[in-house]
Structures are given as C-alpha cells and as structure tokens.
Structure 1
C-alpha cells in the first residue's frame, strides 16, 4: 500500500458530508447542525482519501461560532485496513491537518473520544480504540483521563426532598466562583487537578465559570446552592442545557461536608429541576476514578451509556 496514494484535504463543503460520514461514529448525526451553527467549519473537517475510499478523517469543534477550535472530537480510521497502515495514515492526516488549522507553536486542543463501556473487554472495540490513541500518541498526546458517560431518562424515580438541605438559587458569579474555589480542595477530577498544577484554585474556578458555565443559555435560576439548617452552604449543583442535551454540568460538595451523603441531595435537586422541564434525557459525566461521584449517579437512577477518553498535549507541545 503506497502512502503516496493518499490525498489529504478538508471537505469542500456540506455537499461532501456523505463522504465524510462513511466512517461510523456517534457524532455523525450532529454534523449538519454543527456546520449550520458554526461550531464546525468545513476547513476543520479533514479526510485522507485513497481514490474514492475514505481511509481516515478528523474534525475539530468549537462551542460557539467565531471561536477557535476547542476540541478534536472526531478521529476515525478505516478499521478494515491493517493496523500499522491505518495508524500511519491517521498520523499523516493529523500532522497535515493540524499544520493547516492550528496556530504554530500553540498547545493543540484536547482530544475526546466516545467509546463503549468496558471497551477493553470488547474484541472489536479494543483494537479500534487503541489504534486511534496510537495515532495521537505518535503526534505527542498522552491520555489524561477516562470518563463515564451517564444518562437519566423520564420515568426513572427521582428522590423527594428529605429536608436535610435547603435549596436556593445562586446569588451570582462571585458567590459561585468562591464556592467552586473551595470545592477544588481535594478534588478527584482529573481536569481540575491538571488546572491546579498550572494555576491557583481561584483562577481555575473563574476560568471554568467564564469559559463554560457563563455561556449556558438555560436559566441561571436553575442553579442551586444547598445549605445546612444553619444556613451554611454545603454544596451546589448546576443543572443546565447545552446545544445538545439537558445535563448536570457541575456538582460539588464543600470539603467540610464531604462523606455525609450530601452529594445525593444535590444531585436529586438538580435532577428534579431538569425533570420538571420535561426533558427527554439528562446527561452527565464523571471520571472513572471518581468512584464516590459515579456511585452517586448510579444511586440516583442514571445509567452508564459509554465512556470517554480524553487525551492532551503538554503546554507548548508538538502540534
């Protein structure tokens, strides 16, 4: 198989979505909307072609139109091609596309991949996942964390308030950033721990608020702080909607109140808020290693629908 036979280029426009979709992936159904909204651009969606056969593809994504790529969330290979040849094609595609799309010398956006639950035990899924990871490892990325993807569906019982906590809306940015800063003490979340290795907790909390939470279009009145009978904040939960689903965007218990079951009360409140809106599903995610949070979701009736692998480059790392 001659590597020189490969043609690597971005899609010419929406008319080539059919060609780009020839490799299966869970995000294929979202591509039309993402292009229409500006969350993707044709020049970010690259293909490696051998004749009319799609050998590999990738795409970056941004949370809002007009912003720079924030995630590499599609990287697919033709799994019918032998492993080494497929990986080589993926590496060439990533290097060519990133040189054209990403600023020289900048840290590349994080890679997220949706994979089946227990993918390592799946004889079909495991080599496919490992080949994709191998492409990015050769390009300088390293695994950061694996996360559980969870979903609550209508009809699943939601715990009624038990009176241990009183819930009120968040007063504003300052209050929430202060609580987020305190929650970062002892966090088990890998992304938060990576942030804390690079910056103070207050800056990490403020950045998370400004880059993500502040942009949700769902009402801020949904956000809840749980307080003790004495009126002291115990924790908070951020039920929200992004462009795709209702979700539990953030949940945290202050260090002094951990280990007392308050995460169940906070999660139940967030679920009640969203269930009351008649949403078709509620999505959530937590690190595989964050066992207390994962168990809380399962107790609340959320089901595991898959996993996500996150890979990152070091600051100033290879593009």
Structure 2
C-alpha cells in the first residue's frame, strides 16, 4: 500500500531483516533464528517506510510451523525528530498489517512488549510506551495486564530445604492438569482469571498446559510436586526450558495450603533443579498485582530486570 509517500508492506524475506531491525529492541537478535525455525514468517514482519527511512514496524510471533501467529510482540515507532504524525503512521501500519496477517474471523493475537522496569519514571521510555499504546488503542486494543519479569543468576544463594516438604517428580499429564485445575481457585493471575470468565477451570488448565508447558524443550521429569510428610500435595513447580531460556514456568500452592510460606520452599526446589543443569540464568514472571508471588521471587534472589505490557482486542 502506498499513500502520501508512505509505503506499508511486509519484508520480502531474510534479506530484509536488517531493514526490519532498524529500530532498536531486545528481540532483534532473535529474529534470524525465529525466521529460520518457523516461529516467524516474512509476511508477519511489516514496515512503514518513507523512501528508505523506517518509520514504524510490526511483527508477529507464532508456534513453529503454525498457520497463524500467537502474539504481536514487536511494534515500534521511530521517535527521532519526534515526527508529529508518528502515532498516525503506526496506527495505519497496524491496521493494514492486521488485515493481512490475522485470519478472517479470528481474534487478534494479544500484544506483548518488554519495557524497562522504571519506564514510568524515565521520560523517554514513557513517551515511547505511550506512543505505542496510543496507536494500539486507536485500533481497539485495551490494556490487559502489566507483568514483572525476574531473573536469577548463577552464584545467587538458594535456600536449603526447610524440612517441611518433600518433593517428587510429577507422575503424568493427568496429575499436572488436576493440580493446575485446583490452583485456579482464588488465582491472582490475570490470564487465568480471564479464561475462567469464558470456560470451566479444567478447560482453562488444559489451555494453559498446551500453550505454555507442553512445548517445553526440557524433560518433564524436572517438574516437582511439593508434599507434606504424609504425601498430601501442597503445590507444584515446572522448571524447564522454553525456546529461549531456562524458566520457572508455573509455580503454585493449592488453595487449602496458602498462607504458610510454602511458596518459598517450592520456588527454591524449582531453582535448585535448574541450577543443577548449569544454566546461565533462570527467567520468571508474574503479574504486577500478584504481590505474594513477586515477593517470593525477590526473597529467592531473583531481580526485577524488566516488565512486560500486554494489550488485547475484544
């Protein structure tokens, strides 16, 4: 599409990744691998150009080999010179690209963006975040949740077992689904709470398992059930590796056992499992509003290194 010298189009292929990477973002370094592994496609990576100047870009990510994307996780606006029409350009790019990328009749994938932990206090970072969110809002997107992203580094002390809990590997898929279903009672997680408005708890657990846990590249034997000495389950943790990092993917205490500090021991066990593999780091995340979980990560020596903002379309 060309209008007022503005060109809106997808990149032609790997040869234009340098063009697409002309705006800075941490995911730029992953683009070539993602494209090669089928997690991205050239027709999911769109640019807005005037001449050879990159004004904005939008990029979607999906499961390897999927026919449609799972997330809009790259959306940038060039603020050099503070062009007064930069938000208009970003909106036009997004509308044009979405019409081509999102299958007819399908729900638009959520938008996900990593931002500095102090983005509200840093004037430049705040302006960039607000420009992007403004363009997204004009297309109908609304804030969904802000999440804290944590990182554990090798050498950080791991609490010794307190002796209150025993741990064993999760037996099978049915056991993890049963536990995931039970912990949804009283959950503070925004994604889970949203799912529960549209489906039963068991269905929500299956959806989360299939979307997040099943694709892990690591052995399921790493996952742990926490038990009282008599064998009663208290909670569980799923340490693993996704396509990018070692992660604490799911960490939970069953409703009837909350409030006793078990979360610290369960997190320590999950951290211990991954640390034993000699990992270079461990990543984890929780909602900004999930104060108990965030505090557990901080007590365990995880640092808040980043935040993520999610927006969604009705």
1:49–1:56 CA contact under 8 A, matched in 2: yes
Q: Distance in 2 between matches of 1:84 and 1:147?
A: 30
Query: Which residue of 2 is the match for residue 241 of structure 1?
Result: 241
Coordinate RMSD, CA, aligned = 1.2
Query: Which residue of 2 is the match for residue 259 of structure 1?
Result: 259
Q: Distance in 2 between matches of 1:203 and 1:81?
A: 49
How do 1:130-169 and structure 2 match up within 5 A? 130-169=130-169
TM-score w.r.t. structure 2 length?
A: 0.98
Can you list the C-alpha shifts for 1:87-130, whole angstroms capped at 9, x where unaligned? 10011001111111111232100100000012111111001000
Query: Which residue of 2 is the match for residue 43 of structure 1?
Result: 43
Unaligned runs of 5+ in 1: 315-319
2:74–2:113 CA contact under 8 A, matched in 1: yes
Query: Which residue of 2 is the match for residue 63 of structure 1?
Result: 63
2:8–2:49 CA contact under 8 A, matched in 1: yes
TM-score w.r.t. structure 1 length?
A: 0.96
CA displacement at 1:67 relative to structure 2? 4.2
Unaligned runs of 5+ in 2: none
Query: Which residue of 2 is the match for residue 224 of structure 1?
Result: 224
Query: Which residue of 2 is the match for residue 307 of structure 1?
Result: 307
CA displacement at 1:211 relative to structure 2? 2.4
Query: Which residue of 2 is the match for residue 28 of structure 1?
Result: 28
CA displacement at 1:84 relative to structure 2? 4.6
1:83–1:131 CA contact under 8 A, matched in 2: no
How do 1:1-319 and structure 2 match up within 5 A? 4-82=4-82, 84-314=84-314
Q: Distance in 1 between matches of 2:74 and 2:252?
A: 30
Q: Distance in 1 between matches of 2:10 and 2:210?
A: 32
Q: Distance in 1 between matches of 2:206 and 2:58?
A: 31
Point out the more displaced range, 100-109 or 71-80.
Answer: 100-109
The structure, 1 or 2, with the larger RCO (C-alpha pairs under 8 Å, 6+ apart) is 1
2:168–2:225 CA contact under 8 A, matched in 1: yes
Q: What secondary structure sits across from 1:98 in the alignment?
A: helix
Aligned residues: 313
CA displacement at 1:80 relative to structure 2? 1.8
The change in CA–CA distance for 1:3 and 1:131 in structure 2 (over 3 A counts) is farther
